[in-house]
Amino acid sequence: MNLVDIVNVNEETIELFSKVLIESASLLDSIGQSMWRLVCCYNEKLYRSP
| CA 25 to the chain's CA centroid | 7
pLDDT in tens, 1-50: 566 675 677 888 888 888 888 888 888 888 887 766 555 555 555 555 45
Which pLDDT does position 22 carry in this prediction? 84
Closest CA to 22 of 5, 2, 37, 4: 37
Distance of CA 45 to the CA centre of its chain: 11
In the chain, domain spans: 14-47
Biggest CA pair distance of the chain: 32
